[in-house]
Structure 1
Amino acid sequence: MAAANGDHYTNGNMAGATVNGTPAYAAQREHSLDPASRPNGPSTGQNIPQQANGIGAGPQIVSTSHELEVICGPLLNYRRMSDEHGSNPIWHGSVLVVTTPGSVPEGLWLSRSGGQNGLLNGHSERSFNGNKLYEDPRKAFWQFSIDLPFQDEESLWEYSIARMVDARSKSPVTKPTTFTVPSKHESMRIMFHSCNGFSVGTDEEAWSGPALWNDVLRVHAQKPFHVMIGGGDQIYNDSVRVKGPLKPWTDISNPRKRREYPFGDKLRADCDDYYFDNYTTWYGQVPFSTANGQIPQLNIWDDHDIIDGFGSYTDHFMRSPVFRGIGGVAHKYYLLFQHHLPPPVSTYSSDAPQTTGGHSKTTPADAAQLKDAYVMKATHEDPSYIIGKKPGPYVEECSRSMYCQLGKRIAFLGLDARTERTRHQINYPETYELIFNHASQQIAASHGAIKHLVLLLGVPIAYPRLQWLENILQSPLIAPIRLLNKRFGFAGGFFNQFDGGVDLMDDLDDHYTAHQHKKERKALILRLQDLAKKQSIRISILGGDVHLAAMGRFYSKPDLNIAAEHDWRYMPNIISSAITNKPPPQAVANLLARRNKIHHLDEHTDETLLELFDKNPGAGEPGVKPKSAANNHATMPSRNYAIITESHAHAATANGINGNANGNSKISDFVPPKNPREPLHMGEMHAGTTHAAANGITPTGLAGTDGLDVCIRVEKNPQDREAHTEGYGFSIPALEIGGYKGQGETW
């Protein structure tokens, strides 16, 4: 790898190779970013040697074009920081382009915009070699691992890959290729989203497509995001069973025949084509494609990245060849597109017995799949990943959770809650041990520098109970309707076409609040409380999936008399979903709001939703319809995304850091409410459209020196293709344990 701090992989590409004695890449150059000024790449028609550290010979295709024919991309990812607690922290990320096979990129050039202050190690720009992750006769994936130093001030960086043309139109690729990095004294401005796609049968035109990304870009232009966190369902692959290669399988009415249906090499190849085509179509669609080349992504997957409900159907059905097969194919493209990582050498196929054994940590090689294909072999994992010790029950690969630091004071922990999921578990116990041990060690190593842990779970964990609905759907009352459905197709939309169960049950089984996950949920929350208390760190949870906006909170019971600023049990759950998919009906959101009880996790901890929504978005504006009932202030069924930022600006000055910090001096002035659905601290006062954080731009200073501001931007009118939004704000205080002892508490 050419990066000065490169520690991802040994080069799996053309780095160091020669063509007729000429280096295929220049290591480092001082010249303009104008591609026309750069040396030419390998000559047309040259025989490019294959990589030494991969598997498979590849398709042996040599491009006859002098241009780099791009099918999809470039896509920008953030990975982590190194020397994060030192004086010279380093930003690490990657860029991915998908090209036609045989195309070889000349390299990626990176520079800081803005004159000589942008010099990198004495050079006006640096170049990075490309790693070929995967290639077959249809496409090649090229990844560039990049790194750069944090500066004393926020900095704008430009990356460039020479001679990119659209593989279809042959016109130049003009996608924006700049991104912004915060100063070394600040944490990142975070954009959080989930459910970035449409469920099967949705009228996409009626919902203006992925229009809310227009609002993301407007805000980004006003004050740039440093990272965007994808909470799962970054793409919806469900139509593979409706208009894709799984339709004949879905149409089989006999459940036993459907379970036994083979996932042979032909079906595997057809599904491989479907998932690839769906990714390139969705990731190439404006305005989403405009965002993902200039805001670094950090993603965890969920069921729709595979197929609706994956992992939450009955065990014997989930172990069927088709489910195991599409799990493997989806995992392959999840790693490539969303993590810029090489996939396993093969995926499950019932025609290849070695791939069906379920005994190793990854799927073994299959000669049929490697014919005319090349897969890069990684030498070691990036340190941002926490890899499970054994493969999932239905995806023959290990879980891949993530820990990294988002600037000076915020850490991020993303749980892979899909790879190990079954109907009765979300993650293995040993995986929780790995995750908590790693996070504890990393936070402790900061010696108090990290003030906030942002935890991504994907599915909400502080959310109204739906046990009553589960009981109804699983009661004997449903049996006669199921019989009529099986024999005559009665109530066809009520039952899924996979295992014949009630269609809504897989969604309910996904929830942490589902009855079969209650013990696991409670154990997770208690471990988070213990981590917060021992490390004196505030934990805030991100959740999506449910297609509406809300804000749940865990907190110490009122009779313990612990102010939220001192309460390690106070953990907000920011619920933001969907950025693209349609919301649930108003009646469902109103019902959930009515179910917003005060729940008791244990003898010390309560939970409930904050009544955040003081008005409907765009209320009173022409053409805008109410999204929820006038008495529903807890759930908002309208498309949305969230902005999370530090509550204070920590700017560099000649004398050090000027934080404009006033601490939490007003704690004693706050009187806790009798109704915990109302504000529990100063930062929740006036939560909603009148809160200072509602614009998502200016730090409010309301959450103390190290607190966070949160804005949930909610779509006003789905027919508005520019997707104008209304902001709802609140703040989250940092945790200040030292010197405080609550009633009945011991230290």
Structure 2
Amino acid sequence: MRLAALVIRPLGVDAPGGLRVGNTHFDAVKLAELAGISVWRYDFQLGPDDDGYEFEGCVHPVNTDVTGDMRIAFVSCNGEEEGDLERDGTERNAMWARLAAQHETAPFALILQGGDQIYADEVTRGHPLSDKWPDRAPRDASPPEIEELRQYLRERFVHRYLDVMGAAEYAGLAASVPSLSIWDDHDICDGWGSLKDNRTNSAVGQALFQSAREMYLLFQHAATEADIPDLFMDANGTNLGWWRTLPNLTIIAPDLRSERTRHRVMGEAGWHGLRQVQPVDGQVMVVSSVPMLGPRLSLVEMLMMAIPRMQHYEDDLRDQWQSRAHRAEWCEMLREMLKLRKAGPLTVISGEIHLATRAEMGTGAEHIQQLVASGISHRAPPKGYARGLGWLAGLGEAPLPAHPIRILPLPGQKQRYVAERNFLVLERQGGAWHAVWHLEESGPTPPLPISD
């Protein structure tokens, strides 16, 4: 495994001490200085016989045996839109604590983070150019004023990342379990890409996006612009989708935010990258930050647009693959999934909706499963909302002829959607994969086989 360890130090403090694997010593490379901190990265390797690494006198065990049985954790939606950093830490991070306990019992080889790793919606507040975002984006700001705004936003992003990633329940896991992440809107701002074009394309909007992108690369990938060709499908970084292979496993994460507009989900770079993926034999997992298989939301979209006081929620619906604005592109994505399905069993893993559910499309050699686990720390919506969405799912949806989508209850549950905080554990035993949702109130579900 090629790994990167991210270390944060106060600005002006000496470089962190060395990292050691066995008798091999690794030095840190400085990635950035900003907002009163310096950011350092260790690049190192662990083989199947290495138990972990030592850093500044502390040994961090890492599960490096990924050739046989293995466990992967999937999380999403780590925060809330309002007052997230003021929440009681024990309450906020309760599900992270459960995930850490799972790791202590049976170590994870990987954490997949499916979007909204932070909720950055409040970073725009307190600056005259962005305080009213997205309702207002001044057009007459000068280049120096926009640059000053960008520096302000960078600092706000840094403080948010440090607060969220510094939580004890998360930090211990992060030091011992390799992580791969893809971003979603709240890593930038609520509804990024589904807002009106004159907002996202404004100088204020672009300053926000550029700051969010820099911090996403830095804190979620331990990377800078120079690292993009080695990490992502698109060497130019227009799209930040990626794919990785492990023995008998391919993990693909298309970037559904960098190129998003009100009229598309991905641009040319994203589609080109996705079509270049060549899965290895075995299981294929696709991380879609927005659920790919879902109910007929176009009906709700039409209803909301007809009611003036409900039009405020249009951006939320336009964020979904099922939006009328994205239907043709949604069908194209589903066709790409059917092509990938030929390489082996394919499972789509999603977050975003603050609920737990699952779905299926097709049968036999074209059978695709989707697992949705959303809300590692975001509190669940009302249970009535989950029941209403379940009723809507009962109407059925089939964007591709002869490939109906079915929204199904989790194992052991009666309703199609569960309104509880949750995370997902994917486990390979004897070559076969199964999934278990860990629900805050109901506990773990019975295992669901996903290798077919």
Q: What TM-score results when the alignment is normalised by the length of structure 1?
A: 0.57
Letter of the aligned partner of 1:508 in structure 2?
L
- Residue among 716, 724, 727 paired with 2:441: 716
Matched pairs, number: 447
**In the TM superposition, what is the alpha-carbon distance from 1:433 to its structure 2 partner?**
2.5
User: 2:436·2:444 contact (CA, 8 Å) conserved in 1?
Assistant: no
* Equivalent-residue separation in structure 1 for 2:39 and 2:220 (angstroms): 12
Question: Which aligned pairs between 1:409-428 and structure 2 lie closer than 5 A?
Answer: 409-428=248-267
1:401 correspondence with 2:282: no
* Equivalent-residue separation in structure 2 for 1:252 and 1:315 (angstroms): 13
**In the TM superposition, what is the alpha-carbon distance from 1:468 to its structure 2 partner?**
2.0
Q: Secondary structure at the match of 1:568?
A: helix
**In the TM superposition, what is the alpha-carbon distance from 1:467 to its structure 2 partner?**
1.6
* Equivalent-residue separation in structure 2 for 1:285 and 1:137 (angstroms): 19
* Equivalent-residue separation in structure 1 for 2:234 and 2:320 (angstroms): 23
Question: Which aligned pairs between 1:480-519 and structure 2 lie closer than 5 A?
Answer: 481=309, 502-519=311-328
Structure-2 residue corresponding to 1:727: 445
Deviations along 1:650-695, one digit per CA (max 9) or x if unpaired, are xxxxxxxxxxxxxxxxxxxxxxxxxxxxxxxxxxxxxxxxxxxxxx
Letter of the aligned partner of 1:580 in structure 2?
S
1:645 correspondence with 2:452: no
Structure-2 residue corresponding to 1:381: 229
* Cα separation, partners in 2 of 1:286 and 1:417, compared to 1, 3 Å: same
Q: Secondary structure at the match of 2:92?
A: coil
Q: Secondary structure at the match of 1:634?
A: coil
Q: Secondary structure at the match of 2:229?
A: coil
**In the TM superposition, what is the alpha-carbon distance from 1:333 to its structure 2 partner?**
0.9
**In the TM superposition, what is the alpha-carbon distance from 1:432 to its structure 2 partner?**
1.5
* Equivalent-residue separation in structure 2 for 1:322 and 1:541 (angstroms): 35
Bigger helix fraction: 2
Structure-2 residue corresponding to 1:195: 77
* Cα separation, partners in 2 of 1:523 and 1:253, compared to 1, 3 Å: closer
1:607 correspondence with 2:440: no
Gaps of 5+ in 2: none
Deviations along 1:399-434, one digit per CA (max 9) or x if unpaired, are 11111113x211111111110111111111453132
**In the TM superposition, what is the alpha-carbon distance from 1:201 to its structure 2 partner?**
4.8
Structure-2 residue corresponding to 1:315: 197
* Equivalent-residue separation in structure 2 for 1:726 and 1:577 (angstroms): 15
* Cα separation, partners in 2 of 1:603 and 1:251, compared to 1, 3 Å: closer
1:451 correspondence with 2:333: no
Letter of the aligned partner of 1:105 in structure 2?
P
Letter of the aligned partner of 1:385 in structure 2?
F
* Equivalent-residue separation in structure 1 for 2:439 and 2:115 (angstroms): 19
1:93 correspondence with 2:3: yes
- Residue among 126, 142, 145 paired with 2:24: 126
* Cα separation, partners in 2 of 1:325 and 1:707, compared to 1, 3 Å: same
* Equivalent-residue separation in structure 2 for 1:215 and 1:253 (angstroms): 36
Structure-1 residue corresponding to 2:186: 304
Q: Secondary structure at the match of 1:600?
A: coil
User: 1:613·1:635 contact (CA, 8 Å) conserved in 2?
Assistant: no
**In the TM superposition, what is the alpha-carbon distance from 1:523 to its structure 2 partner?**
0.8
Stretches (4+) displaced over 6 A: none
* Cα separation, partners in 2 of 1:206 and 1:127, compared to 1, 3 Å: closer
Q: Secondary structure at the match of 2:93?
A: coil
* Equivalent-residue separation in structure 1 for 2:349 and 2:37 (angstroms): 35
Gaps of 5+ in 1: 1-90, 112-124, 163-173, 344-376, 390-396, 482-493, 495-501, 557-566, 616-631, 649-705, 718-724, 735-747
- Residue among 353, 359, 364 paired with 1:546: 353
Q: Secondary structure at the match of 2:234?
A: strand
User: 1:552·1:573 contact (CA, 8 Å) conserved in 2?
Assistant: yes
* Equivalent-residue separation in structure 2 for 1:187 and 1:604 (angstroms): 36
**In the TM superposition, what is the alpha-carbon distance from 1:178 to its structure 2 partner?**
2.2
Greater relative CO, 1 or 2 (CA 8 Å, sep 6+) = 2
* Cα separation, partners in 2 of 1:258 and 1:284, compared to 1, 3 Å: same
Question: Which aligned pairs between 1:170-189 and structure 2 lie closer than 5 A?
Answer: 177-183=60-66, 185-186=67-68, 188-189=70-71
Letter of the aligned partner of 1:640 in structure 2?
N
**In the TM superposition, what is the alpha-carbon distance from 1:388 to its structure 2 partner?**
5.9
User: 1:101·1:138 contact (CA, 8 Å) conserved in 2?
Assistant: yes
* Equivalent-residue separation in structure 2 for 1:211 and 1:526 (angstroms): 39
1:463 correspondence with 2:294: yes
Larger Rg: 1
Question: Which aligned pairs between 1:252-267 and structure 2 lie closer than 5 A?
Answer: 255=136, 258=138, 260-261=140-141, 264-267=146-149
Structure-2 residue corresponding to 1:225: 108
1:581 correspondence with 2:378: yes
Structure-2 residue corresponding to 1:529: 338
* Equivalent-residue separation in structure 2 for 1:134 and 1:386 (angstroms): 24
Q: Secondary structure at the match of 2:148?
A: helix
Question: Which aligned pairs between 1:129-208 and structure 2 lie closer than 5 A?
Answer: 129-136=27-34, 138-151=36-49, 156-161=51-56, 177-183=60-66, 185-186=67-68, 188-201=70-83, 204-205=87-88, 208=91
Letter of the aligned partner of 2:245 in structure 1?
Q
Identity of aligned residues (%): 23
Q: Secondary structure at the match of 2:275?
A: helix
Q: Secondary structure at the match of 1:464?
A: coil
* Cα separation, partners in 2 of 1:603 and 1:253, compared to 1, 3 Å: closer
User: 1:577·1:641 contact (CA, 8 Å) conserved in 2?
Assistant: yes
1:569 correspondence with 2:366: yes
Question: Which aligned pairs between 1:200-349 and structure 2 lie closer than 5 A?
Answer: 200-201=82-83, 204-205=87-88, 208-241=91-124, 244-246=125-127, 249-251=130-132, 255=136, 258=138, 260-261=140-141, 264-343=146-225
**In the TM superposition, what is the alpha-carbon distance from 1:204 to its structure 2 partner?**
3.0
* Equivalent-residue separation in structure 2 for 1:462 and 1:132 (angstroms): 42
* Equivalent-residue separation in structure 2 for 1:307 and 1:252 (angstroms): 9
* Equivalent-residue separation in structure 1 for 2:388 and 2:3 (angstroms): 43
Letter of the aligned partner of 1:585 in structure 2?
P
